[in-house]
Structure 1
Amino acid sequence: MNELKRALPVIAAHFILAAAGCLVWALLVDIPESLISPFILGYRLRYAFLKFTDLVPALFISGIMLGYSMAFGKFQNHATGRWSHELFETLKFSFVLSLSAVSVFIILSEGIAPFMDSRIQQYGTLSEDYSGNISVATDFRSQGRYLEAELHAQAALQIWPESADAAKLLNDIRYDAADKSGVSAYAIPPAGSSGTVRAPGASGLTVLDAISQAREYTDAEDFFSAHYYAMLAYKLARETDPNKQVALRVAAEAWNHISSMPDSAAVRSDSRLFSIKRNGYDAIQREDWLRAYYIFSSLQDEENSSDDGLYDPDVERLFDIARDGLVGSYFFLDETVGIEPFEAARDVFFIVRHNDGTSSVVFFRGIAYKKESGRDMAYLRGFEYARFDEYGECRYRILVPYVKMLPYRSGDSGTVPQFLLHSVDRSQPGLDSVPQVLSGSVDEPMQNTLVLDMPYSDMHLVISANRGIPSMTLADLLRFGKKADTYGFSGTLIQSEIVYRLAEPFLVLILSVYALIIAWKFRFLPNMLFKAWWVLFVPVFPAVSWFAFDAARYFLRLFIIPVVTWFPSFSVPIMLAVATLIFIGASMTFFGQRGD
């Protein structure tokens, strides 16, 4: 225990001085020229943290060598036999210290470093996006394309809100647009709420609940809603359910009222309005949600612009139904305005292999996550999808500027990713963004939605793998290992990384024991006076330790490759067994030391 007390300050000094050195180095080292001002400090601090994390094992080994060589000085003048109690106590406490150091290293390297590294990459990407948006906005301005120029200038301001250059450019664009057109410059309409997402017919209502709702609306003479809920009950009921016929009778009664008493369903006595509402309601019944949405959206606009002050509750209710149906298969164009700066990953590629021998290839240029009403969703930019048959021939290939990804419950498959491929304008029909078919032919339903045959949670894994295998956490590697080949990644490479991550802590423990052996062999003489010139040699210990640890890691990777290749199923037990044997051998070597 006394040796530990003497060695601990030396080890602590290693970490403190190294942390300060990494910070100074990070503040002085050259950074990417493209990095913009608000990211520079964060980049340098995270860079310093990553460098320090990488040095932790070497610093600890160096601290063991130097600290214990001083602590072992008390044994210099008296004999210490092999397998002595003193050596056992020393190894016991140093082992506890090593486990603590390894735990800290694992927390830093697996728990924090991946997020720091991801943030550094994001700084670089956002800086490039900022410069690109400024350049493109300037070009569009010179061409007189002010709307596009303003979009890119605002995107630059989203990345760097305090940028004087971007703010000046935006003002210049708006001034030029106003000067040319005689009106105020183009303005981007604020992205409106897409509403509460709920799939019609799947809102949790039972058959009896829907019939009850239909009767309540019938009593209130809201026959459109009555018919809708009655037909919903009819669809929900099984063929043998007697309530199916009850629902049909309630629906027929409501429809008779709709057909014979048009004016009673409208607040304004307007047969044209009733005819439009009926067409919209017919579209709802056919589940033509897009047509129904635009019909009731235009009716709402007419009501809002009318001066008569009359209000039709049917329009609002049916508009809500149409909108909720719409968002199950479409999304709005303005949902993707300005999201590029918030993308979490770029240039993601993976393959989904299906049980029938076919495969799907997916690529997208960026993904931005969002949570709305407690529901996870994401927007994918530059989405490309290709389907191949069992012979490797491409059936079709599509390209979509933006798609919306949602978790979708698919029977026995669990929750899978669903992609909405068709985006529409909130108010003007015809301004759609649809998939561009690059080769082959695609069925019409496929042009709206696409469901991938893979667990939704695996999307996070393939995105992490695209950032680079070394940047993945051990937890992600363990979950992804057996699935890697399915998604077009090397299962052997993933397994090698898993084995390496598990073996690295053992490597630190083994080298720590050898550091103890070196410290024992070169222990200081007792009562030796400190000489100032020794300070010049202190940096040698961390340098030698770093070289030794780096060389050991290199040979460890060389050893892992054949083990994983020849014994893939037993690579982890084999590696752990070998590491344990080496650790025991190193410990025995230390116990075998003796003092003269």
Structure 2
Amino acid sequence: MSVGKAYGLVLGILLVLLLAWAIVEGVGNTLLEPLLPHLRVALIVRTALHTFFENLAVALVVCGLITFSLLLSPADLGGIGTPLIRVIRPVLYIIVVAGVINGIWFGVFAPRTELRIQQIGHQSRAARDSLKEAERQLEMGSWETAEEQLLLHQALAGESEEVADLLRRARAGQIEDEQLRRASRGPVQEEVPPWMREAREMTVPQLIARAREYLEGGDFFSAHHYATLAIEQSSTPRQDARRIQSDALNLIERGSLARDEAAIRQLYRDKVLAYEAFVQGETIPEKALEAYYRFQDLETRIPEDPDVRRFAPEARRRAGGISFFVEEARSNESLPGRSRLVFINRRTAEGVEMITVDNLVRTGSGDFLYGIEVMRTSGRDEIDLHLRARYGKVIGDRLVMRAITREGDYREGEANVTGPVFFTGSALDMEGSLVLHHRVEEFARFAGGADAFSTLSLPELMNLSPLMEDLGRSPRIVQGALLNRILRIGGFFIVTIYSISLGWHLRSRYVGRPPLVVLLLMPIIPGMTWWIITIVRYLLAVSTTVLASLVPLSAAIALTAAGIMMATILAMFSLAHRKVEL
């Protein structure tokens, strides 16, 4: 059997076994943690790919050891004295192709795969937690909260008959509660006031006299009532009662017109106040929010008014530029995101401004931040501003921390707003928002500390070091991750080439059938190889971190590249000087 066929056969068998093991591990992960049904296949595929490429180098090393120590004989390699490197060119081609694929995977696709695996787990946990919370709220009878959690679960997991039934139950509970509230008020009892009972006992002349008193006193409704009673009780036409009734009715209608005019005047005053708040809102954020709620109120009362139709959308747009709806922030709070962000937003001669974020969620409707803390120091290392906000949203180049209710009453003022809490400083120091000096894409990369760098591609790591210093983070961590990634890619060629040399070195120890001890060691070779490569990777990771802390990045990359090249040359030199011999 030729060298290329033997190596390819063994490698094919090992890759099939490795792929089967990777699929089993992917399925096992879906069994260990309950996942959303539509995400199970995606997790199995990504976990299998991750496991496969993590152990690809192990497969090639084992392939080199088995092929050259057990399967090939001196005759297969061209006889005694033949230079080994001359007859293993097909094997080297296979190693180069596999190494390039391995490099592309770890340089670009592995970080994306790992990030997606994390997101799938987060999304499944959030969906599961929201469903449990909804069921708990249903048991407590908190129908509105249960409906919110069920809608969040639907957004994460999709629609299902089970959730649809729970939604119907929550909405039915809300309707039932409303009906109970109405029933608890009881039917409206039409009580007969004392003056009405007295009127029923009066004679017609007494009723007319009382009606005239009320008419002269300006109580036109009572005058109309007594005059009507007199007409109903009299057996003969009473023109005096009819005259009082007619006069009272005319005066009532005239007063109604006056009240209509008062309502029109009140609407006009409300429009003027809304417009004044709108104008002042150009410079005063609180007035902009007041204008939003005032025009919202006017839209419900006079939706066809041309002034309202003109200014209400503009008031909404202006409010949206300085605030966001708290309902939207709450609905996105449980979505998968990036956690534990810490970065310097601004550095000046006077001091620094540092921002920490518990969680960042990026959605189609915007970037939402949760658990925000801002600290600004002066040149004397004194804290000038220290605040914490529950919600934040990136609008343009600003981090807005003023959340408002979608619907509210302008008379309630601050009750509609969820804003930052100040420990040092006040709202005058930042007016509800901060200018972000970095794009979200930049500081989002630092979520989770050093572990987050495993989700960044090789080009991203190479461009990240200068940005680290701007954001106030030590570049040594990212430099260590970059060097380790380079070693991971370059080291693939070194270990696979050395495995060929080592395999043939073992084969040269015996002629004919391998000794029994060698055959007995075969089953444990993959495990031993995995442990050795894992330990070497750990030691290299520690070494690159130390190297990154001692020398600049450019020098560290040069030293790492030189080390890889030297090790590869030594491996090739070892093959070049090894000949086929007994």
Please give the TM-score of this superposition, normalised by the length of structure 1: 0.72
Whether the 8 Å CA contact 1:359–1:387 is kept in 2: the answer is yes
Match 1:454 to one of 438, 452, 458:
438
Give the C-alpha shift of residue 546 in structure 1: 2.0
Aligned length: 490
Question: Do structure 1's residue 382 and structure 2's residue 376 form an aligned pair?
Answer: no
* Residue aligning to 1:419: 399
Query: In the superposition, relative to structure 1, how do residues 363 and 32 fare at CA in structure 2: closer, same or farther (>3 Å)?
Result: farther
Q: Deviations over 1:214-264 (max 9, x none)?
A: xxxxxxxxxxxxxxxxxxxxxxxxxxxxxxxxxxxxxxxxxxxxxxxxxxx
* Residue aligning to 2:360: 367
* Residue aligning to 2:575: 590
Comparing 468-477 with 496-505, greater Cα deviation is found at 468-477
Q: Deviations over 1:523-561 (max 9, x none)?
A: 499997999999976544433332332233233234324
* Residue aligning to 1:203: none
- How many Å separate the matches in 2 of 1:100 and 1:581? 21
* 3-state SS, counterpart of residue 300 of structure 1: helix
Match 1:147 to one of 122, 144, 152:
144
- How many Å separate the matches in 1 of 2:356 and 2:32? 28
- How many Å separate the matches in 1 of 2:58 and 2:542? 20
* Residue aligning to 2:564: 579
AA at the equivalent of 2:143: Y
- How many Å separate the matches in 2 of 1:399 and 1:555? 41
Query: In the superposition, relative to structure 1, how do residues 476 and 463 fare at CA in structure 2: closer, same or farther (>3 Å)?
Result: farther
* 3-state SS, counterpart of residue 79 of structure 1: coil
Give unpaired runs (5+ residues) of structure 2.
Answer: 183-262
Counterparts of residues 430-441 of structure 1 (less than 5 Å):
430=413, 431-441=415-425
- How many Å separate the matches in 2 of 1:467 and 1:557? 13
* 3-state SS, counterpart of residue 430 of structure 2: helix
Q: Deviations over 1:126-174 (max 9, x none)?
A: 3433443344444444554432233223323433345666555444443
Whether the 8 Å CA contact 2:106–2:489 is kept in 1: the answer is no
Whether the 8 Å CA contact 2:487–2:564 is kept in 1: the answer is yes
Query: In the superposition, relative to structure 1, how do residues 67 and 406 fare at CA in structure 2: closer, same or farther (>3 Å)?
Result: farther
Whether the 8 Å CA contact 1:74–1:525 is kept in 2: the answer is no
Whether the 8 Å CA contact 2:3–2:72 is kept in 1: the answer is yes
Q: Deviations over 1:79-135 (max 9, x none)?
A: 225xx4x62463x54443323212222333343332332233233333433443344
Question: Do structure 1's residue 298 and structure 2's residue 301 form an aligned pair?
Answer: no
* Residue aligning to 1:475: 459
* Residue aligning to 1:498: 482
* Residue aligning to 2:345: 352
- How many Å separate the matches in 2 of 1:536 and 1:171? 65
AA at the equivalent of 1:87: I
Query: In the superposition, relative to structure 1, how do residues 88 and 63 fare at CA in structure 2: closer, same or farther (>3 Å)?
Result: same
* Residue aligning to 2:336: 343
Query: In the superposition, relative to structure 1, how do residues 397 and 98 fare at CA in structure 2: closer, same or farther (>3 Å)?
Result: same
AA at the equivalent of 2:477: L
Whether the 8 Å CA contact 2:340–2:448 is kept in 1: the answer is no
* 3-state SS, counterpart of residue 338 of structure 1: helix
* Residue aligning to 2:547: 563
- How many Å separate the matches in 1 of 2:382 and 2:130? 39
Whether the 8 Å CA contact 2:95–2:493 is kept in 1: the answer is yes
Give the C-alpha shift of residue 451 in structure 1: 1.2
* 3-state SS, counterpart of residue 371 of structure 2: strand
Match 2:111 to one of 111, 114, 120:
114
- How many Å separate the matches in 1 of 2:73 and 2:322? 74
Give the C-alpha shift of residue 379 in structure 1: 1.4
Give the C-alpha shift of residue 346 in structure 1: 3.1
Query: In the superposition, relative to structure 1, how do residues 58 and 284 fare at CA in structure 2: closer, same or farther (>3 Å)?
Result: same
Question: Do structure 1's residue 400 and structure 2's residue 389 form an aligned pair?
Answer: yes
* Residue aligning to 1:78: 79
Query: In the superposition, relative to structure 1, how do residues 131 and 557 fare at CA in structure 2: closer, same or farther (>3 Å)?
Result: closer
Give the C-alpha shift of residue 405 in structure 1: 0.8
* Residue aligning to 1:319: 312
AA at the equivalent of 1:74: A
* Residue aligning to 1:179: 176
Query: In the superposition, relative to structure 1, how do residues 6 and 460 fare at CA in structure 2: closer, same or farther (>3 Å)?
Result: same
- How many Å separate the matches in 1 of 2:29 and 2:514? 35
Whether the 8 Å CA contact 2:375–2:387 is kept in 1: the answer is yes
Whether the 8 Å CA contact 1:8–1:67 is kept in 2: the answer is no
Give the C-alpha shift of residue 438 in structure 1: 4.4
Give the C-alpha shift of residue 580 in structure 1: 1.1
Match 2:468 to one of 480, 484, 487:
484
Whether the 8 Å CA contact 2:401–2:420 is kept in 1: the answer is no
Give the C-alpha shift of residue 55 in structure 1: 0.4
- How many Å separate the matches in 2 of 1:283 and 1:350? 37
- How many Å separate the matches in 2 of 1:399 and 1:77? 75
Query: In the superposition, relative to structure 1, how do residues 528 and 27 fare at CA in structure 2: closer, same or farther (>3 Å)?
Result: farther
Query: In the superposition, relative to structure 1, how do residues 534 and 503 fare at CA in structure 2: closer, same or farther (>3 Å)?
Result: closer
Whether the 8 Å CA contact 1:72–1:520 is kept in 2: the answer is no
- How many Å separate the matches in 1 of 2:329 and 2:341? 18
Comparing 582-591 with 515-524, greater Cα deviation is found at 515-524
Whether the 8 Å CA contact 1:75–1:595 is kept in 2: the answer is no
Whether the 8 Å CA contact 2:3–2:87 is kept in 1: the answer is no
Counterparts of residues 23-34 of structure 1 (less than 5 Å):
23-28=23-28, 31-33=31-33
Give the C-alpha shift of residue 593 in structure 1: 1.0
Query: In the superposition, relative to structure 1, how do residues 301 and 460 fare at CA in structure 2: closer, same or farther (>3 Å)?
Result: same
Please give the TM-score of this superposition, normalised by the length of structure 2: 0.73
- The percent of aligned pairs where both chains have the same amino acid is 19
Query: In the superposition, relative to structure 1, how do residues 531 and 497 fare at CA in structure 2: closer, same or farther (>3 Å)?
Result: same
Comparing 131-140 with 10-19, greater Cα deviation is found at 131-140
Whether the 8 Å CA contact 2:27–2:44 is kept in 1: the answer is yes
Query: In the superposition, relative to structure 1, how do residues 184 and 560 fare at CA in structure 2: closer, same or farther (>3 Å)?
Result: same
Q: Judging by fraction of residues, say which structure has more helix.
A: 2
Counterparts of residues 151-170 of structure 1 (less than 5 Å):
151-162=148-159, 166-170=163-167
Whether the 8 Å CA contact 1:403–1:420 is kept in 2: the answer is yes
Query: In the superposition, relative to structure 1, how do residues 274 and 42 fare at CA in structure 2: closer, same or farther (>3 Å)?
Result: same
AA at the equivalent of 2:81: T
Give the C-alpha shift of residue 44 in structure 1: 3.9
Larger radius of gyration: 2
* Residue aligning to 2:218: none
Whether the 8 Å CA contact 1:395–1:440 is kept in 2: the answer is yes
- How many Å separate the matches in 2 of 1:33 and 1:76? 51
- How many Å separate the matches in 2 of 1:274 and 1:95? 87
Whether the 8 Å CA contact 2:109–2:457 is kept in 1: the answer is no
Query: In the superposition, relative to structure 1, how do residues 165 and 395 fare at CA in structure 2: closer, same or farther (>3 Å)?
Result: farther
Whether the 8 Å CA contact 1:368–1:378 is kept in 2: the answer is yes
RMSD: 3.7
AA at the equivalent of 1:321: E
- How many Å separate the matches in 2 of 1:535 and 1:23? 28
